[in-house]
Amino acid sequence: MGINFFDIVFPDAPETITSIIEGEAASLGISIMAIVILLVVFLLLSGSVAVAAVVIALVTKKNRDASVDMQEEYFEE
């Protein structure tokens, strides 16, 4: 297999990326929406309108699913 340069330079990169995605990076001061907004702005500036539209659609769907879950929990009580 050999030695992966990425693993030597960034040994805990997968855990860091996972923690940012799951929203556990509060100590870093990074919010998920800030990352998404920067990603969308970058994609729009680079001309990838279709990719930016997909990212926006996925984020809004996730937010909509979360709000539906919260409503269901409220009415169960």
Q: Is the pLDDT confidence value at 1 over 50? A: no
75: Cβ–Cβ under 8 A, 6 or more apart, which residues? none
3: Cβ–Cβ under 8 A, 6 or more apart, which residues? none
Q: Is the pLDDT confidence value at 55 over 70? A: yes
What would the pLDDT profile of 35-54 be if each residue is shown by its tens digit?
A: 777 777 877 777 777 777 77
- pLDDT for the residue numbered 42: 79
What would the pLDDT profile of 17-35 be if each residue is shown by its tens digit?
A: 655 555 555 555 556 667 7
- Note if the pTM is more than 0.75: no
SS3 call for 52: helix
Cα separations in angstroms, 57 against 4, 53, 60: 35, 6, 5
